[in-house]
Amino acid sequence: MDFKYILEARDVTYSYEKKEGSPKSLSEVSLGIRPGIRTVILGANGAGKSTLFYHFNGVFRPKSGEVLYRGIPLCYDKEVLYQLREDISVVVQNPDEQIFSSTVEEDVAFGPMNQNLHPSIVEGRIADSLFKVGMEDYRYRPTTQLSFGQKKRVAIAGALAMEPKVLILDEPTAGLDPQMSQEVMEMVDRLCLGGTTVVISTHDVDLAYAWADEIHVLRHGRLIFSGVPEDFFSDKESVALSGLALPHTFSVNRSLEGIRGLPEAPYPRTNSQLLAKLSPPEARFGRIMIRGIGDGTPVPEDDGLTRGIYGFRTRRMFRDNGCRADIYFNAVEGCCLSAMQGRDTVLFCDEELVDVIAGRIRSVSEFGRIPEVVL
Ligand SMILES: Nc1ncnc2c1ncn2[C@@H]1O[C@H](COP(=O)(O)OP(=O)(O)OP(=O)(O)O)[C@@H](O)[C@H]1O
Ligand SMILES: [Mg+2]
């Protein structure tokens, strides 16, 4: 079947109370999530983000309007919903609502066990997903003994273990420390590159601006914007009325127009894009060498260059072999910045990502000069 949106809300209205005329948490919300597009639902506290997400996996049923998956309206029959949730995983905002089992292992195993997978596949899924969220050492711990952020990571691991087609994360970085926030965002990024559609809700405007291809903004339960982030943030009044603020990079870019006379467009979303825009023609850049890590790749020798790592397999290889790395998190961006500071830099990444990552770095040239990329 042909469909434009993998998930769609059409005129969705919802109220938590049954009484006629009670306040609406969502009012006639219509939006579509395109497959493979990095989507953020942005909104201040109480805007309706979580309420909308509960509609996407059929936990809530709209009072009016409808929700469609792959172009077909959801059916609220128990069996059908069960199948739907194999395709669409929602990680709710509060992990205590999601974690029911007594140990971490049991909790992560719950989804794949119910998919009737072979025990060896379930085992692989548990180990992989715990590794991806950095919780492999906690596998046998009671879930009650975890901190908030650890519970959140286990909840995400539980969703990953299902290998869903659409992963919906409600405030995935809220309550996580800065490194873990970056790791979670890298994991999400890695999943997108692998073809999973990821939707995130947040009120973190910097995160939304740097990460999203498309944003949908909610305000008091109404959708007030759908489109590319810079179009929304250019409208100061809407941003203020929505209880949000301008992203840091967006503001810096705007001031540059005043200080340097640089046109606002194209809008840099990351530091490397911003630096490319600012770098003078005589700036001496280093090169970025991209090296793919596959299952049989020998452990790379240390040549003393600055090294970044990206991807699950690469991360695991570096950890298991005690290899040196200088840039552990957000390494595609970090390696770009390192080369822009004149250092030859090696970016190790999962083999199958070499071309997309090279493409991503080269696309920074839209903003100005970039370091040479060597494959
Ligand atoms: N269980 C509930 N009963 C009644 N009203 C609720 C309930 N949960 C949420 N609401 C109301 O619905 C509206 C939307 O809430 P929702 O939790 O969807 O917002 P949100 O955008 O996720 O906010 P936050 O950023 O704080 O997580 C709010 O006005 C809230 O007070
Ligand atoms: Mg919420």
Whether 226 and 90 share a structural domain: yes
Q: Is residue 278 part of a domain?
A: no
Cα 16 to ligand 1 centroid, rounded to whole Å: 9
**Which residues have CB atoms below 5 A from the ion given as ligand 2?**
49-50, 93
d(CA 329, CA 164): 24
| Percent of the chain whose predicted confidence (pLDDT) is above 90 | 79
pLDDT tens digits, 223-281: 999 999 999 999 999 999 999 999 999 999 998 877 777 888 999 999 999 999 999 88
Whether 57 and 158 share a structural domain: yes
Q: How many domains does the chain have?
A: 2
Cα 262 to ligand 2 centroid, rounded to whole Å: 38
d(CA 198, CA 36): 7
Whether 147 and 11 share a structural domain: yes
Whether 229 and 299 share a structural domain: no
Helix, strand, coil percentages (3-state) for the chain, rounded to 5, are: 40, 20, 40
Is residue 1 scored above 70 in pLDDT?
no
Closest-CA residue to 344 (of 326, 329, 365, 328): 326
| Percent of the chain whose predicted confidence (pLDDT) is above 70 | 100
Domain housing 104 = 7-241
Is residue 292 scored above 80 in pLDDT?
yes
Q: Is residue 62 part of a domain?
A: yes
State whether the beta carbon of 242 lies less than 6 angstroms from ligand 1: no
Whether 223 and 307 share a structural domain: no
> Residue 1: is it exposed, middle or buried by C-beta count within 10 angstroms (0-12/13-18/19+)?
exposed
pLDDT tens digits, 153-188: 999 999 999 999 999 999 999 888 888 888 888 888
Q: Which atom of ligand 1 is nearest to the CA of 52?
A: 18
pLDDT tens digits, 303-324: 999 999 998 889 889 999 999 9
Q: Is residue 158 part of a domain?
A: yes
pLDDT tens digits, 72-85: 999 999 999 999 99
Is residue 195 scored above 90 in pLDDT?
no
Q: For ligand 1, pick from 12, 51, 94 the residue to mutate: most ligand atoms within 8 Å of CB.
A: 51
pLDDT tens digits, 16-69: 998 888 889 999 999 999 998 999 999 999 999 999 999 999 999 999 999 999
d(CA 349, CA 294): 9
Name the residue with tokens 């077909």.
Answer: 72
d(CA 355, CA 358): 5
Query: For ligand 1, atom 27, which residue shows the shortest CA distance?
Result: 45
Whether 218 and 358 share a structural domain: no
Q: Is residue 256 part of a domain?
A: no
Whether 184 and 42 share a structural domain: yes
